[in-house]
Amino acid sequence: QIPDHFIEIEVTETILFTGSQMGYISRILDGFHSCGLYVSLDDFGFGYSSLFLLRVLDIDTIKLDRSFFVDENEKSRAIVTGIIQFAHQFKICVVAEGVETREQFEQLREIGCDYVQGYYFAKPMPCQEFEGLLDEYRGAGIEEPLTDTEIRNELPVLLVADEDEDY
């Protein structure tokens, strides 16, 4: 039995741009929530982003597209800051994707981004290498969290995509 909120379903923003199906999609997302799943909206800000989506859909997390962090400038920083502040007003968590430098990480932490992911921390790796990383983490004497709240609010999150057919 996996406790509620330990699994997050990720949907891409592009599947949501058809307004005629908004009610249908909203019911599906509500169904995910009723099963104890979180829902994240991937690639936010890349395609047909609409703040309307955040108002009408029950989204737990938005994942900012890496395009905001490549060739970053004052305008993109202001947009990211505004999106983070806006999302937090609705109790939506924000993840920055594609973070590759310490400077990007520090800037995002300074403006209140909840989580970051990208090559700055680790590149994609085979399952065995990942298991070794977990063993190293456990060997460092770091206690495992007791609740999902501690995981979401206190610890870094690692995205695992199992594409290894032998695993």
Residues facing 38 on adjacent strands: 8
Supply the DSSP symbol for 47.
Answer: S
| Measured distance CA(125)–CA(130) in Å, rounded | 6
Active site residue 8: no
Considering the candidates 97, 103, 154, 163, report the single residue annotated as catalytic: 97
Q: Summarize the chain as % helix, strand, coil (round to 5).
A: 45, 15, 45
| Measured distance CA(157)–CA(167) in Å, rounded | 21
- The β-bridge relationship of strands 8-12 and 38-44 is parallel
Q: Both tokens of residue 131?
A: 């298991």
Q: Both tokens of residue 96?
A: 């920055």
Active site residues: 97
